[in-house]
Structure 1
Amino acid sequence: VYYCSEYWNNVNCFQLGASVAFTTNKGDDTITFQVCQSPYDKMAMNYAENPDPDGDPIKLGDLYAYNLYWMGSHGFYTALHSLNFSEYERGKFDVYVVLGNQFKFGDATIQLDLMNRGVSAKELLFENFSIMGEVDYLIAKRVNIFAKATYDKVGANYPTVIDDEGDYVGGLFLCPGTEMTRVGGGVEYYPLGGRGNRDIRLHAAYCYNIGNNTNTKGTAFDKGSFLTVGLTWKIDVIEGISALIDKRQAKRAANM
């Protein structure tokens, strides 16, 4: 993931929680229910306007999220769909429906993700949403190219909460009136082999932004660009330690 939608760049993705899951006998489908801390739990709007006598912030209460996932793999199609309820105030939920889809045809892979968000049914009907699409193609054994586009839209009627630094969005991590598109692509090179071994990767990716971001602290703005060039090396630490131990044990056995 070299660049994402504006929503993805602002949301707090990782939270502490617990999950229970059921997987079918064939292993093709898994349904998971999760309860975790809401991604809005640490936002300024969940703290009292004035601190306590010691100057420490006063938290208004713990906020939770309730999520239901379906992950399925059927031939060329892989799905990750979810229904999510995240508290942004006590008893008030930001609801989002996520439809993640991947289609694989030989050396080509197509990914299409749709996220609808909102605190009301009206907003869930394409007033607040994100679309992300990507096409990858392995043009040679070690070379992969891709094109990617993302689109975010936030309706003008979404509530905001004011703090000392400006407007905080009441549940979407995006400010009302935002409409932003990002388009770009890139190339990946795998020196050890594109199919069998992707532990080392060289990459170059670029995207261009088009639209209006009303969040002055956002990550993407009109006519802005993003360029990344780098090296990724996946190291299996446990396997490396195990191999080192085996080597030393074999050496000791040989010297006995």
Structure 2
Amino acid sequence: MKRLLLALLLCPALPLAAAAPDDRPDPDSDGAPHARLERPDLSLEVRTSFTHEAPEGGDPFTGLRGEYLNLRLEGSIGPAVTYHFRQRLHKFDNADSDLFNATDWVYLTWRPTLRTALSAGKQPVAMGGYEVDCTPVDDYFYSVFVQHLACYQFALSASRTSASGDHTLTAQWCNSPFGRMGDGLFAYNLMWSGRMGSFTTLWSANLLEYERGRHLAILSLGTAFERGPLRLEFDLMERALPRRLLRLRDITCIGRVCCTLHERVRLLFKYGYDRNGEAPSQAPAADRCVAPGTDRFFYGGGVELFPRRGSRDLRLHALCADANGTVDGLDRPMRYVSVGLLWRVKLCTRR
């Protein structure tokens, strides 16, 4: 393990060719890209904080701690192939001797044309909603669904982007987030990301296998509006057996407001609601993330400060949140307070 980390950190010393991209064809044409081999981007991101967590009926936590220690690597192999890698160094002790358990993603993308992409490897599950899509170091408290979702899986994906570049449709086949490696459970995902003026979308239809031959259908609709200093995000997700969709018995709703008061000051507010109104039974529930009997509401907010003008690589935050309601039929209120620091450093850049 130490040798692996040393090799990754010594990447800046590798004699990789650094070259500017060649002229590319018009995006409206369907020609192939012609970028040369480039130096990789290697970066480290760290988030630490003073945290107070007070769950009802559980052990409280108060103290200083490290939350994230991520290593990221991106680059190209040849004219149309790129690679993407992110490792959570702080999760090695929980990796169960399998390095991939601490790997968020490691995959290759081949672009036979500027508008077509094929990807293979461990990737984010193609599921709509801005809470699911948000980078973990940029979020602080989550819905019950996202807390229990294994959102990175080995997958094959194909994407097609419109001539304007505003819309992308992605089809993905991956291991089911409800299963374990090698158990033969799969998921089938179709996601649309779009931009229409001030509005953007992350919508998906997903079919997740929870037992052999049995699937949970998910409709996830994420919509965002951004104008000037204000950004609004709203996610609505329904989970049900395929023939029971649109009954809204098992849902998650998320709202998020970001207001940039100054290039160095941003206010945040987030709320969410999880509910699974299905009747509990002795058999395992189809929804493995939000158990039957869950009815939970949370809300919170705070401020982010960016000391360096024009840079997001150094960030201070102060936030608090409350959660009330039941999870798995048990009353579980919770209070959360966090004051901390995030910093990103580039160990090797393409330029």
Same fold by TM-score greater than 0.5: yes
The answer on whether the counterparts of 2:250 and 2:278 sit within 8 Å (CA) in structure 1 is no
Change (3 A) 1:176 1:229: same
The yes-or-no answer on 1:155 pairing with 2:265 is no
The CA deviation string for residues 118-158 of structure 1, in whole angstroms up to 9 with x for no partner, is 11443542100000001111112211011110000002336
The yes-or-no answer on 1:17 pairing with 2:155 is yes
- The structure that has the greater radius of gyration is 1
TM-score with structure 2 length normalisation? 0.57
What residue number does 1:228 align with? 338
Secondary structure in structure 2 of the residue aligned to 1:15 = strand
Matches for 1:111-190 after TM superposition, within 5 Å: 111-122=233-244, 124-157=246-279, 161=283, 168-190=284-306
Q: CA-atom RMSD, angstroms?
A: 2.0
In structure 2, stretches of 5+ residues that fail to align are: 1-138
The answer on whether the counterparts of 1:76 and 1:104 sit within 8 Å (CA) in structure 2 is yes
The answer on whether the counterparts of 1:174 and 1:215 sit within 8 Å (CA) in structure 2 is no
**For 2:285 and 2:345, how far apart are their aligned partners in 1?**
39
The yes-or-no answer on 1:238 pairing with 2:348 is yes
4+ residue runs over 6 A deviation:
none
Change (3 A) 1:173 1:212: same
The yes-or-no answer on 1:77 pairing with 2:199 is yes
In structure 1, stretches of 5+ residues that fail to align are: 44-58, 162-167, 244-256
If asked which structure has higher relative contact order (CA below 8 Å, sep 6+), I would say: 2
The Cα shift of 1:235 comes to 2.2
What residue number does 1:31 align with? 169
The answer on whether the counterparts of 1:188 and 1:201 sit within 8 Å (CA) in structure 2 is yes
The CA deviation string for residues 210-256 of structure 1, in whole angstroms up to 9 with x for no partner, is 1111267xxxx6331112221111223331xx67xxxxxxxxxxxxx
**For 1:203 and 1:71, how far apart are their aligned partners in 2?**
29
What residue number does 1:55 align with? none
The answer on whether the counterparts of 2:293 and 2:329 sit within 8 Å (CA) in structure 1 is no
Across the two proteins, how many residue pairs are aligned to each other? 213
**For 1:198 and 1:182, how far apart are their aligned partners in 2?**
27
Secondary structure in structure 2 of the residue aligned to 1:9 = helix
**For 2:168 and 2:261, how far apart are their aligned partners in 1?**
33
Secondary structure in structure 2 of the residue aligned to 1:235 = strand
- Overall identity of the aligned pairs, in %: 33
**For 1:159 and 1:212, how far apart are their aligned partners in 2?**
17
Secondary structure in structure 2 of the residue aligned to 1:146 = strand
Change (3 A) 1:62 1:137: same
**For 1:101 and 1:205, how far apart are their aligned partners in 2?**
24
**For 1:118 and 1:158, how far apart are their aligned partners in 2?**
14
**For 2:245 and 2:191, how far apart are their aligned partners in 1?**
21
Q: Identify, as 1 or 2, the structure richer in strand.
A: 2
Secondary structure in structure 1 of the residue aligned to 2:302 = strand
Matches for 1:95-106 after TM superposition, within 5 Å: 95-106=217-228
What residue number does 1:209 align with? 323
Q: Could you tell me which amino acid in structure 1 is paired with residue 180 of structure 2?
A: K
The answer on whether the counterparts of 2:235 and 2:254 sit within 8 Å (CA) in structure 1 is yes
The CA deviation string for residues 2-48 of structure 1, in whole angstroms up to 9 with x for no partner, is 111111101111100010010011100000000000011129xxxxx
Q: Could you tell me which amino acid in structure 2 is paired with residue 189 of structure 1?
A: L
Matches for 1:56-75 after TM superposition, within 5 Å: 61-75=183-197
Change (3 A) 1:146 1:101: same
Change (3 A) 1:26 1:123: closer
